[in-house]
């Protein structure tokens, strides 16, 4: 997947919002909320396709997302699979509407209920993601039709029946299939880096976050053996409260692409934060995590499938983290779970 130069950078306002003195107010205290690494907000945010996903991380050095102004969402319709009712439409949702034979065994045929933008979901037309108003259940099926184009609304590509007339069979693109699957071709579209902090409408002055390694024997467990703070390692602390590019061991709470105060969400700046990868934006690109986990994730094309040419380790196993790749193997997911987000709200 190509990554081009930054095509558009939205403005990031650096403001001194967090603890001015550079001291963790929550340090040595009891956290109000502890969220383990495997506890990310599942089935909540989804990319419409892998091209949008490829642009999303890493963040630009300004802290913003990069997007392609010649490929934005001009029109979007979202549906949920449903029992037949007076309001449903008969249709077909497949993994790739341009190529219905691709993973055709996953095609869903049945009735679909149209969701209302702004009520049932929101979306970002530039970065091509949708956020359901509340997370989908494991058994929900979500599908979409959309038109892509440039920022002047000149349409260049249409996926599914975005202008559906009820005389036809609705054609849709699967965004989330029934699960919970160990593998499904739509699995890469789900965000796996968003954590709900426990409260909406957070006042930035009230919030403090540390990342704790449960196996650490040093202090609060919030830093690696070389002294580097885990906020810095996970890319959550790139600058100080004056906007200088110097980590200050305080989460960059003024970056809305990391902390969404209104929704009470923490967004780690990589697709699969609790694994190591040197591929930009895939895992967390910090050697401390390679030491901790003992391997680099072996899925370079990021499709969640073991493909020819992808490596196996000396034991003949495919090195991938269970929390992202093998939901069903709960014992293994628990075994690999190591970090926790400690949230302090004054």
Binding-site ranges for Ca ion (CB under 5 A): 237, 248, 250, 252, 299, 301, 303, 305, 307
Contacts of 103 (CB under 8 A, 6+ apart): 94, 95, 96, 185
Taking the least distance from each CB to Ca ion, the nearer of 97 and 185 is 185
Query: Minimum Å distance from CB 316 to Ca ion?
Result: 17
Nearest to 296 by CA among 318, 270, 325, 271: 318
C-alpha distances in angstroms, 280 versus 57, 60, 71, 192, 285? 7, 11, 21, 16, 7
Q: Which residues share a beta bridge with 123?
A: 130
Q: How far is the CB of 243 from Ca ion (least distance, A)?
A: 10
| Nearer to Ca ion among residue 163 and residue 308 (C-beta) | 308
Please say which residue, 279 or 305, places its beta carbon nearer to Ca ion. 305
Whether 130 contacts 191, CB under 8 Å: no
Helical H runs in 84-237?
230-233
* Token pair of 155 as six digits: 């349409």
Question: Assign residue 313 a region: left if phi > 0, alpha if psi is -120 to 50, beta otherwise?
Answer: beta
Asked if residues 293 and 275 have their Cβ atoms less than 8 Å apart, the reply is yes
Tell me whether residue 222 or residue 237 sits nearer to Ca ion (CB atom): 237
Strands of the sheet containing 121-124, edge to edge, are: 45-47, 129-132, 121-124
Q: How far apart are CA 114 and CA 166, in angstroms?
A: 12
CB of 301 to Ca ion, least distance (A): 5
For Ca ion, which is the closer residue by CB, 252 or 285? 252
- Give least dist CB 261 to Ca ion, A: 15
Q: How far is the CB of 50 from Ca ion (least distance, A)?
A: 12
- Least gap, CB of 122 to Ca ion (angstroms): 27
Contact, 80 vs 112, CB < 8 A? Answer: yes
Cα–Cα dist 12/311, whole Å: 39
The residue (of 123 and 304) whose beta carbon lies closer to Ca ion is: 304
Q: Which is nearer to Ca ion, 31 or 185 (CB)?
A: 185
E-assigned strands of 95-154?
A: 108-114, 121-124, 129-132, 142-149
Residue 273 CB, nearest distance to Ca ion (Å)?
17
Q: Least separation, in Å, of the C-beta of 325 and Ca ion? A: 10
Least Å from the CB of residue 119 to Ca ion: 35
Cβ neighbors of 61 (< 8 A, separation 6 or more) are 245
The smaller minimum CB distance to Ca ion, of residues 206 and 307, is found at 307
CA pseudo-torsion sign 148, 325, 184, 81:
negative
Structure tokens at 17: 């919002």
Q: How far is the CB of 251 from Ca ion (least distance, A)?
A: 6
For Ca ion, the closer of residues 7 and 246 by Cβ is 246
Q: Which is nearer to Ca ion, 108 or 228 (CB)?
A: 228
DSSP 220: T
């Amino acid at each position: 997947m190509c990554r081009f130069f930054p095509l558009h950078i939205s403005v990031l306002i650096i403001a001194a919002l967090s603890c001015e003195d550079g001291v963790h107010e929550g340090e040595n205290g009891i956290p109000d909320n502890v969220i383990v690494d495997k506890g990310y907000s599942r089935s909540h945010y989804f990319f419409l396709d892998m091209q949008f996903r490829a642009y999303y991380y890493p963040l630009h050095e300004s802290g913003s997302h990069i997007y392609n102004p010649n490929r934005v969402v001009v029109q979007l319709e979202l549906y949920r699979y449903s029992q037949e009712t007076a309001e449903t439409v008969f249709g077909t949702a497949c993994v790739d509407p341009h190529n219905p034979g691709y993973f055709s065994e996953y095609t869903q045929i049945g009735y679909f209920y149209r969701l209302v933008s702004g009520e049932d979901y929101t979306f970002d037309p530039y970065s091509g993601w949708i956020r359901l108003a509340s997370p989908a259940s494991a058994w929900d099926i979500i599908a979409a039709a959309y038109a892509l184009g440039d920022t002047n609304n000149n349409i260049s590509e249409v996926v599914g029946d975005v202008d559906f007339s009820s005389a036809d069979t609705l054609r849709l693109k699967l965004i989330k299939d029934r699960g919970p699957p160990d593998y499904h071709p739509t699995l890469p579209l789900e965000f796996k880096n968003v954590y709900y902090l426990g409260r909406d409408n957070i006042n930035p002055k009230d919030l403090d976050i540390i990342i704790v390694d449960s196996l650490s024997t040093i202090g609060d467990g919030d830093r690696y053996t070389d002294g580097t703070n885990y906020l810095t390692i996970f890319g959550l602390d790139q600058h100080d409260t004056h906007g200088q590019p110097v980590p200050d061991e305080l989460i960059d709470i003024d970056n809305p692409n990391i902390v969404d105060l209104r929704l009470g969400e923490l967004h780690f700046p990589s697709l699969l934060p609790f694994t190591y990868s040197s591929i930009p934006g895939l895992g967390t690109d910090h050697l401390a995590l390679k030491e901790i986990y003992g391997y680099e994730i072996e899925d370079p094309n990021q499709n969640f499938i073991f493909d020819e040419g992808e490596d196996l380790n000396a034991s003949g196993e495919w090195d991938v983290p269970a929390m992202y790749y093998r939901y069903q193997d709960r014992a293994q997911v628990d075994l690999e779970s190591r970090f926790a987000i400690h949230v302090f709200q004054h």
